[in-house]
Amino acid sequence: MDLARTEVTGATGPGRKKAPRGSRRGSAVRLALMAGPVAFFAVFFAYPVAAIVARGLKADGVWRLGRIGDVLAQSDVRHVLWFTTWQALASTALTLLIALPGAYVFARFDFPGKQVLRAVVTVPFVLPTVVVGTAFLALVGRGGLLDELWGVRLDTTVWAILLAHVFFNYAVVVRTVGGLWSQLDPRQEEAARMLGASRLRAWRQVTLPALAPAVAAAALMVFLFTFTSFGVVQILGGPAFSTLEVEIYRQTSQVFDLSTAAVLTLIQFAAVAVVLAVHAWTVRRRETALRLVDAATTARRPRGAGQWTLLAGVLGVIALLLVLPLAVLVQRSLGASGFGYYRALTREDGGAFLVPPIEAIGNSLQYAVAATVIAVVIGALAATALTRRDAGRYVRGFDALLMLPLGVSAVTVGFGFLIALDEPPLDLRSSWVLVPLAQALVGVPFVVRTMLPVLRAVDGRLREAAAVLGASPWRVWREVDLPMVRRALLVAAGFAFAVSLGEFGATVFIARPDNPTLPVAVARLLGRPGDMNYGQAMALSTILMLVCAVALVVLERLRTDRSGEF
């Protein structure tokens, strides 16, 4: 039965069919599932952002909406908007081009060290962007590796920015697309080959349409991260390049022009909303039910020269683009004094820190665990609510709204928390929970985008059969959906944990001086002159890298245990 045709609202009349009881119950359940995420985003996202925008565009109780036109009329603002959009599109295309072969290798090939390498691939994504920019500056800047070997410098060029964005977002494509790819039944593509289709044609007409939602989700996340890029552009772009995020930061903290910053925030918000609307419309048209299998049964050792060449090429890209910057990071943390920079982390300096910098490790882990729990709960509820194919426009709008935290300035969110959440009944300014709440805002979209393609790929007839047999919605989720999406849920939790560890933009404004996180501690050390401060920043960045690697290796072992469940 086509529930989309029979579900109606209001009283029935001539020519109308009364909505089935199951359909009405499904709508009620969906609304109940949406209630939690909507309340969370309304209180901890919409309210703080609205508060900071109102502070910038309102003077003496009067809205100064004409300020929007004044800002847009400035040629330098239009140039910033153009460069922000152009580099985000170029970064997204380049990341997909380089990372999709990696997604295929991790999904379909089985080779020694695969779990460790998957964790290594994810580590760059959780590094603070200021550290990513500094690592690439050591490679392509004055006195960097390329300069020493061949006399080539790429800093203050767009190529340095694009490569750093690929370094940062490679894991998004590998884990989002590869997670679904590994669960697609390869026999469908093999059947097309037996019917005479070439390998390329079989992939283009069978596998690619099935992967389209995951590819679109990965492209959306990469675009949003590069559209709001801050640390990478600020360090590698120099004065020649500036994104909206960099300009918002400059107007807020250096020029102290809050009204211009508010206008730029609205521009960024509007641009992201348009992107999300287009994404929701295009992806919805391509969704289809898929045949999912256990990921452990689809990976095999490479066969033939072509597959071994592909594996070697992907490993080479990972070594040059991902491992080399990390190796430079480790080398800089050791320097000429061995472990001197690490020993200095245990001492109080009475300056930028009220506690030894080493305590930032424990703070980050505690905040990340709390943020992961919040993000998984809110994200799982939202993804489940979005699973129904008979959802109306309000549900599709809800889908797009969940992604807005990735496209709104983290600087704006951080300031908004300080302004909006400082009086009863939400006086959280001095509470430790403020940090994981801000981190969870960024983690929820990753949970949703990771789980949603798999949830929507589950054959809806399985849920309908369970409901007909008398199963409650909770039991349908537990016995039908959960076994199929358990692997995606673990991947989503890993993403949320990683994002929380590396979140910097909002945390830098709300983390207390006696409880800094690792990214905040790194930024403070980088902002202070002297080789010792720089070395300690590199040491903390290396520790952050190792903590993330260990956590991700544990996650890999949990989701690929011998039980065979995923």
Helix crossing, 114-126 with 482-502: angle to 10°?
50
The 3-state secondary structure of 106-155 reads: HHHECCCCHHHHHHHHHHHHHCCHHHHHHHHHHHHCCCCHHHHHHCCCCC
Pairing verdict, β 426-427 and 58-59: unpaired
283: nearest Cα among 400, 436, 142, 434: 400
Please say if the pLDDT value at position 278 is more than 60: yes
- Rounded Cα distance between 193 and 201, Å, is 9
With contact defined as beta carbons under 8 Å apart, do 246 and 197 qualify? Answer: no
* Model confidence pLDDT, tens digit, residues 110-130: 888 887 788 788 878 777 777
What counts of helices (H) and strands (E) characterise the chain? 29, 4
Backbone angles phi, psi at 354, to 5 degrees: -90, -10
Q: Which tokens go with 341?
A: 């920079």
Q: Is the dihedral of CA 130, 249, 407, 236 positive or negative?
A: negative
The string over 104-141, giving b where at least 16 C-beta atoms fall within 10 Å of a residue's C-beta and e elsewhere, is bbbbbbeeeeebebbbbbbbbbbbbbbbbbbbbbbbbb
* Cα 29-34-37 angle, rounded to 5 deg: 150
Number of CB atoms found within 10 A of residue 516's CB: 26
If you write DSSP's letter for every residue of 280-319 in order, what string do you get? HHHHHHH-----B--GGGT-B---HHHHHHHHHHHHHHII
* Model confidence pLDDT, tens digit, residues 68-113: 787 878 888 888 889 999 999 999 999 999 999 999 888 888 888 8
- Rounded Cα distance between 110 and 108, Å, is 7
- Rounded Cα distance between 357 and 341, Å, is 11
- Kindly give the residue spans of alpha helices, DSSP state H, lying in 155-257: 158-181, 186-194, 199-202, 208-227, 231-236, 244-253
- Rounded Cα distance between 454 and 307, Å, is 27
Number of CB atoms found within 10 A of residue 86's CB: 11
- Rounded Cα distance between 538 and 540, Å, is 5
For 473, residues 6+ apart whose C-beta sits below 8 A from its C-beta are 25, 26, 29, 467
* Model confidence pLDDT, tens digit, residues 1-51: 333 333 333 344 444 444 445 555 556 667 777 888 889 998 898 888 888
Pairing verdict, β 422-423 and 426-427: antiparallel
Percent of the chain with pLDDT over 90: 9
With contact defined as beta carbons under 8 Å apart, do 109 and 301 qualify? Answer: yes
* Model confidence pLDDT, tens digit, residues 406-452: 767 777 788 788 888 877 777 787 788 889 999 999 889 888 877 88
**To the nearest 5 percent, what fractions of the chain are helix, strand and coil?**
75, 0, 25
- Rounded Cα distance between 211 and 400, Å, is 20
- Rounded Cα distance between 413 and 438, Å, is 8
Lowest average pLDDT, out of 76-85, 182-191, 512-521, goes to 182-191
Amino acid letter, residue 502? G
With contact defined as beta carbons under 8 Å apart, do 402 and 382 qualify? Answer: yes
* Model confidence pLDDT, tens digit, residues 195-229: 777 777 777 777 777 788 888 888 888 998 888 88
44-50-55-59 Cα dihedral, nearest 10 degrees: -150
* Model confidence pLDDT, tens digit, residues 138-186: 787 766 677 777 776 676 678 889 999 999 899 889 988 887 777 777 7
For 202, residues 6+ apart whose C-beta sits below 8 A from its C-beta are 189, 192, 193
* Model confidence pLDDT, tens digit, residues 322-341: 888 888 888 878 876 678 88
Average pLDDT of the chain is 77
DSSP secondary structure letter of residue 339: T
Compute the half-sphere exposure of residue 13: CA atoms within 13 Å on the CB side of its CA: 3
- In whole angstroms, how far apart are CA 370 and each of 121, 280, 364, 380? 24, 30, 10, 16
User: Can you say whether residue 517 is alpha, beta or left, with left for phi > 0 and alpha for psi between -120 and 50 degrees?
Assistant: beta
